[in-house]
Structure 1
Amino acid sequence: MSKSLAKPLLLAALVTTALPVSADDSLYALKQMSLDELADLRVSTATHRSERLEDTAAAIHVLTTEDIRRSGATSLPELLRTVPGLNVARISATEWAVSARGFNNQFANKLLVMVDGRSVYTPFFSGVLWDELNIVMQDIERVEIVRGPGGSTWGANAVNGVINIITRHAEDTQGTLLSVTAGDLQSETVLRNGFKAGESGHARVWAKLHQNDRLAGTPDDSRDIHWRGGRAGFRGDWEMGGGSLMVEGESFRELKRQERAYSGAHLLGQWSRTNGEARDELRAYFNRFTLDHWMVLNNGARAELDTFDLGYRHHFSPIGGHNLIAGVGYRNVASDAQMTPPAGVSRSSRTDQLFSAFAEDTLALAERLQLTVGVKVERNEFTGVEWQPSARMRWTPTKGSTLWASVARAVRTPSIIEDSARLTSYIEPRAFTNGLPLFVNSAGNPNLNAERLIAYELGYRAQVSPRLSFDASVFLNDYDRLLTVDMIGSPRLVPSLPSPYLTWNALAGNALKGKARGFELSMDYRPADTWRVQASYTHLDINMAALPGNAEINPLRAAGESPTHQAMLISRHDLRHDVELDLQARYVSALRTYSIPDYLTADLRLGWRATSRLDLALNGRNLIGPARKEFGTNLVNASDAYLIPREYYVTANLRF
């Protein structure tokens, strides 16, 4: 073991000898859920109501606290690799491409991600900055992942899926935790303290520092840049006035040296009260985010976003066979963006408002048959009024089995960049450029329409026995008015020295349509009380077509940005009461757009509960095969992606 790994572990071991035994050993009190317990888990992401996982009429997957711990993941994208139906690929030390049911991209724009109900989908470019979302993994209660549209519940941009990250109640994180990660490509330190806050409350505070080392673009190259950052935050939970109050906040800064920096802070408050079978919920948050992106192809930028969001919903007492929920929302986004000329934004300072209202009714049609219909209407500054309805039917023919079907409409609204920015993109010499470099000068379009999806789904889940459960879903997604970069005129030759190059102008448009078809199969099997095996397979087929006369430079690239086949096998085995062995193997088929071949790889975790206060784990990533590229960032190749190497790291968690 290297000195960099040994020092933090030796320090943690020495500290434990001087500390008293903690009466609260909550980490290991969280045993692996049985299939019955997992089916009874309450979820709320598919609809606004809390319902049993088994009864949910959607393709939903839940990662529990135990799943998160035993994955060994130190980042959210790494954790999400274990979810059936998600497309997850690493690009560099900082960048990931994450999507559901296709359309994967570094700036995947059809997946809505939330943390405790706070949207982290950025309106600046549409998508999620995964390197900014560096959550303390030990504070996550569960992650609910819905594959399929969630527009009628969560509004615009919940097109292909919704991920809701729910953090732990402060009462569940009492005492002090010191967590250290040390490896050949990453290091991390987390310090958290939980304490009583008055007679009826609990709170915690935390701080986190991390660094990820650069990756290589080729076997003899190391162009990637170090990524480091830190954050600190708090959460408090109180029972008061017949209801409950939660307040949380965080401040952070992330830096990718010589390229970009993120900084920001948020404050969120949530109040809820239950009166019989009726329930009121009020949530408000303020989020400040700043991006500094240093000049790359004259696209240097600084953007500041201030978001205020307020939402209220009311769960009515049942009226006959009806179970109603309704609510309203308001969001205000004040932005200021400056870009290095000739790049720019036509409206550098702007304020965008979003007004919304929704209603949802679950109707019992028969003893085992339920229909849920819902609609959300929004008025946004880009495309005006958008309606997003859905209908879900659920039938439970026998105890432990659920058959469901749904149809829904969802939209994605344009981003600030798509609406008003001017950017330059570089494409390396290719055959269609006659061997010359190509610079594409693209401009936003304030007349863009919202992208539109009509989705049809059918699913079945069953607990075959106390040790075996099965889940299957099939879907057809029909897309229209998808974003395109429409080329204008013909490329122009610039006879520059030392070598000539081409330039081509482009304008954002809505000239693409397509269909995505697929199915997802997953199984959860418990051969023994100490052994859990999960397996999944996903098939995806995307067909795209540009409207007649469209001059998009690569209109069909989305069809080859996501794998057709994905397979996963996860084994979690307790070798004895204090030793755990976790194996995650995955197969990913080729990405045609970037000429990336298929690959098979595996991750391994060996965990040891050294004492009642200290646990250690050795983790290995990408253990099969050589370093490989998993994705690309260029329109037509993977030239800007990096080789994802084999990696080892040790984690130590000390509780006192």
Structure 2
Amino acid sequence: MTPDARRCTFTFLAAALLLCLFPTTVAAQETATLTGTVVDAQDGSTLIGANVALRQPDAAGLVRGTATSTDGAFQFSEIPPGQYVLEVRYVGHQTQQRTLSLEAGASSDVTVELPLSTSSLETVVVSASRRQEKVLDAPASISVLQPEEIQRQASTSTVEAIRTAPGVDVAQTGIDRREVVLRGFNEAFSGSAYVLTDYRQAAVPSLAVNVHSLMPNMSLDVERAEVVRGPGSALYGPGVDSGVIHYFTKDPFQHSGTSVRVTGGTRQYVSGQFRNAGTFTDNLGWKITGQYARADEWELNPGERPDSLEIDRYRVYQSRDQVPNGRNVETGNFDEDGADEFQLRREDTYQKLNVNGLLQYRSGDATTISLNGGYSELKGVVQSGIGTLQADGFGYAYGQLRVRSGGFFGQVYLNANESGDDTYVYGSGDEIVDEGLQWNGQLQYSVEVPQFGTQVVAGADADITIPRTEGQILGRNEGDDDIQEYGAYTQTTTDLTGALELTLAGRLDYNNVVDQVQISPRAALVYGATPQNTLRASYNRSFSSPGTNSLFLDIESLRQPLPGGNGGFSFNQFRESEAAASLLPVNFKDPLGTNNVPLRPLFGTVIEGLAATVQSGNFDQLPEPLQGLSPGQLNFLVSQLRQLNMEVDAATNGQLGIPNDSDRGFRPVDGPVDIPPLDQTKTQTFEVGYKGVLGDRVIVNVDAYYEQKKDFIGPLVVESPLLYVNPQDVNSSLATELTPILEAAAEEDLQLFALIQQ
């Protein structure tokens, strides 16, 4: 999104918001007062913080709203006389509604008793089977978080509300960063959980990273969150082998009005949210939401080992001139050559902006058409599959059209990423470009077959990911890296005995890169022992396809500093060097000789690094013995060393190895191995579970499962062997070759002779 387009969008949304906020003038009239107390129906204890809403009987709009005080009391003043519906909600209790008639000049007092609720078991959900069903009847382990639970969280992120759900692992990696996984297998950027917002996949396209800070899931607008644990590929397709997190936002018909929320805290944290929703007619509604937040991000402490290991990966520049404008660096002798270098450090400012809009049309109770879109961006640190990023204007836009009519559901949506003006990788210091797109279309139909006591769900979908990185992330694979996935599925739920339900599901998926068709079956039995207790047994087979990074990544994510001021070592540099030409075989599968390794290319690399430093004039970056020489002496030294290198004919023996953390520093290998392409990860899960209420007071949810994975894709590892040589052997061989040449050079300049010897 261009700055002009973004500015127009914000102007339009602000103007629409102001129009919606204009109050309606009413004639002055005598009003009524309503007071009351909310208590627990069983023991009579007052309920603190219960949500109390006053509505008109024939309108979805909210007239007044409040929360009960520390003594369970509430009060509404200056209410126009008339008929109203009083609605009271509290976590863990049943919602109560009461019709009231308020007369002019009168004051009414009510006591509302809320019975303990089994709503967490009777709530209607859609994420487990892609159709409506009660939690108690779902053929999967599922939790539902109600709006009261979400809004009570005093946190920088809505994600914090699901931390209490069973099987959810949440790691906070920053002021507003949360990494969330289901049933273990945590990772730095938690892309394994399949996260949806209003039926749309909410991950950043192309990178397939769940950046929760960018998702439009602000606490002010979330109606509920469903957490489904376990595989879901039988309905959702590839990549859903650990579970689904689905956020549902409030619709404008049931939740109209204006809400504002402001929070603050330490580290200069401040956040503001707004939500404005209403209806143009009985059939057409609208909603606008927005959020802004900023804070001082946590710093890394070099004195703490985990932080120091992270800092050690960051780019080191040999001179200040090499540091791009605006980068935060630390000065120090990082490569221990006696001269100062400049290493990247994290920036401490975090900011985010989020704006969303919705238009919704309803035709009676049968048809709903929703058109929504939004834009969000942030400035801060982001964990990704290509390393730690410093994001600046890292944005995310989406548009979605959704239609539901009876048993039919269809949608199409677009997710678009924007990398921002100066987003870069800390390991290499290079800016990145990621303008990736994700197109998705879905069709589904649900029908009941009463003669067989069966509910049938069938559907098909297509998902197309188009990475656009201008070669900065996917390198040589740019333009040949689109991923197309097509799938079709069906599920039947049959009432076998009145208390026993059988669920059978299957899905076929095709991936154009892997060029395979995968089958994902599901079978589940749900036994209703009593109306409030069920037992469940299930089998699922799911799979995950390798993502864009796993298939096409071609980026320099780390640059190793070397003495001599040559800017460091990277694989691409080596691949194009004289050393590579002389060491590597012509054909990949030919053996690589490790005996009599020529030292001329290695010696030449050091000389050219020295020459580059002399030519740049950065004499303070030279090794300490050379800093006292004049420019003329330095140029003469470089010319002599180049001449020496042409005459070097020394060689040494080496050993191929893969770098590791052993005392030796590498694992010896015989040679490079042709690594086969990544395969799809297959997961089989057997599970039993119980949901129910014990003693009318305790809600119990117990799950036990066995999971087996095949072809699991782990973290990036080094597979290309390196050639290791013994430094003592190198020095001895070079000394033998260089001694007679040095003696001849001594006649020209005795001082240079001594320096060359060093």
CA contact (8 A) 2:490 2:505 kept: yes
Give CA deviations for 1:352-374 in whole Å, capped at 9, x if unaligned: 32211110001122120011011
Q: What amino acid is aligned across from residue 458 of structure 2 in structure 1? A: A
Q: Residues 529-568 of structure 1 correspond to what in structure 2 (within 5 A)? A: none
Residue matched to 2:390: 259
Residue matched to 1:244: 368
Q: Which of the numbers 144, 150, 153 marks the counterpart of 2:232?
A: 150
Residues 1:234 and 1:374: Cα distance change in structure 2 (over 3 Å) = same
Distance 1:268 1:176 in 2: 24
SS of the residue 2:425 aligns to: coil
- What TM-score do you get using the length of structure 2 for normalisation? 0.57
Q: Which of the numbers 79, 90, 103 marks the counterpart of 1:31?
A: 90
Q: Residues 265-414 of structure 1 correspond to what in structure 2 (within 5 A)? A: 265-274=397-406, 279-292=407-420, 293-298=423-428, 300-319=431-450, 320-338=452-470, 340=472, 344-348=475-479, 350-383=481-514, 384-414=516-546
Q: Say whether residues 1:475 and 2:705 are aligned partners.
A: yes
Residue matched to 1:43: 125
Q: Residues 516-595 of structure 1 correspond to what in structure 2 (within 5 A)? A: none
Moved more, 426-435 or 98-107: 426-435
Deviation at residue 199 of structure 1 after TM alignment: 2.9
Deviation at residue 109 of structure 1 after TM alignment: 3.5
Q: Which has the higher contact order (CA 8 A, sep 6+)?
A: 1
Q: Say whether residues 1:229 and 2:352 are aligned partners.
A: yes
Moved more, 124-133 or 180-189: 124-133
SS of the residue 1:153 aligns to: helix
SS of the residue 1:172 aligns to: coil
Q: What amino acid is aligned across from residue 216 of structure 1 in structure 2? A: E
Distance 2:168 2:725 in 1: 43
CA contact (8 A) 1:96 1:106 kept: no
Residue matched to 1:67: 149
Q: Residues 2-41 of structure 1 correspond to what in structure 2 (within 5 A)? A: 24-26=63-65, 28=67, 29-34=88-93, 35-41=117-123
Give CA deviations for 1:396-424 in whole Å, capped at 9, x if unaligned: 11221000011101111111111111245
Distance 2:675 2:419 in 1: 23
Residue matched to 1:172: 254
SS of the residue 2:662 aligns to: helix
CA contact (8 A) 1:123 1:416 kept: no
Q: Which of the numbers 681, 697, 716 marks the counterpart of 1:451?
A: 681
SS of the residue 1:137 aligns to: coil
Distance 1:135 1:447 in 2: 37
User: Where do 5+ consecutive residues of structure 2 fail to align?
Assistant: 1-20, 27-32, 34-53, 55-61, 68-87, 94-116, 305-344, 382-388, 561-658, 667-671, 728-758
Residue matched to 2:285: 202
Q: Residues 585-624 of structure 1 correspond to what in structure 2 (within 5 A)? A: none
SS of the residue 1:93 aligns to: coil
Q: What amino acid is aligned across from residue 453 of structure 2 in structure 1? A: G
Q: What amino acid is aligned across from residue 171 of structure 1 in structure 2? A: F
SS of the residue 2:433 aligns to: strand
Q: Which of the numbers 110, 132, 139 marks the counterpart of 1:57?
A: 139
Residue matched to 1:508: none
Number of residues of Structure 1 aligned to a counterpart in Structure 2: 469
Distance 1:151 1:403 in 2: 22
Residue matched to 1:432: 662
CA contact (8 A) 1:42 1:53 kept: yes
CA contact (8 A) 2:228 2:245 kept: yes
Q: Say whether residues 1:191 and 2:274 are aligned partners.
A: yes
CA contact (8 A) 2:277 2:287 kept: yes
CA contact (8 A) 2:118 2:699 kept: no
Residues 1:443 and 1:27: Cα distance change in structure 2 (over 3 Å) = farther
CA contact (8 A) 1:300 1:339 kept: no
Distance 1:400 1:353 in 2: 44
SS of the residue 2:149 aligns to: helix
SS of the residue 2:550 aligns to: helix
Residues 1:135 and 1:433: Cα distance change in structure 2 (over 3 Å) = farther
Distance 1:165 1:443 in 2: 45
In terms of fraction of residues, the more helix-rich structure is: 2
Residue matched to 2:747: none
Q: Residues 94-133 of structure 1 correspond to what in structure 2 (within 5 A)? A: 94-122=176-204, 124-133=206-215
Moved more, 219-228 or 352-361: 219-228
Residues 1:445 and 1:130: Cα distance change in structure 2 (over 3 Å) = farther
Distance 1:347 1:37 in 2: 51
Deviation at residue 450 of structure 1 after TM alignment: 0.6
Residues 1:435 and 1:479: Cα distance change in structure 2 (over 3 Å) = closer
Give CA deviations for 1:1-49 in whole Å, capped at 9, x if unaligned: xxxxxxxxxxxxxx9xxx9999534565443242333322100111112
CA contact (8 A) 1:69 1:138 kept: yes
Q: Say whether residues 1:83 and 2:313 are aligned partners.
A: no
Identity of aligned residues (%): 20
In terms of fraction of residues, the more strand-rich structure is: 1
SS of the residue 2:235 aligns to: helix
CA contact (8 A) 1:209 1:231 kept: yes
CA contact (8 A) 2:408 2:444 kept: yes
Q: Say whether residues 1:215 and 2:298 are aligned partners.
A: yes
Distance 2:197 2:368 in 1: 19
Give CA deviations for 1:269-324 in whole Å, capped at 9, x if unaligned: 211112xxxx1111121221123531322264211122221111111132422211
- What TM-score do you get using the length of structure 1 for normalisation? 0.66
Distance 2:674 2:158 in 1: 31
Distance 2:216 2:726 in 1: 46
CA contact (8 A) 1:305 1:334 kept: yes
Distance 1:255 1:63 in 2: 29
Give CA deviations for 1:509-538 in whole Å, capped at 9, x if unaligned: xxxxxxxxxxxxxxxxxxxxxxxxxxxxxx
Q: What amino acid is aligned across from residue 525 of structure 2 in structure 1? A: M
Residue matched to 1:556: none
User: Where do 5+ consecutive residues of structure 1 fail to align?
Assistant: 1-14, 437-441, 497-656
CA contact (8 A) 2:151 2:220 kept: yes
CA contact (8 A) 2:220 2:274 kept: no
CA contact (8 A) 1:267 1:285 kept: yes
Residue matched to 1:162: 244
Deviation at residue 330 of structure 1 after TM alignment: 1.8
CA contact (8 A) 1:98 1:106 kept: no
SS of the residue 1:447 aligns to: coil
CA contact (8 A) 1:215 1:224 kept: no
Deviation at residue 154 of structure 1 after TM alignment: 0.9
Distance 2:158 2:475 in 1: 32
Residues 1:460 and 1:453: Cα distance change in structure 2 (over 3 Å) = same
Residues 1:179 and 1:486: Cα distance change in structure 2 (over 3 Å) = closer
Residues 1:333 and 1:430: Cα distance change in structure 2 (over 3 Å) = closer
Distance 1:211 1:350 in 2: 36
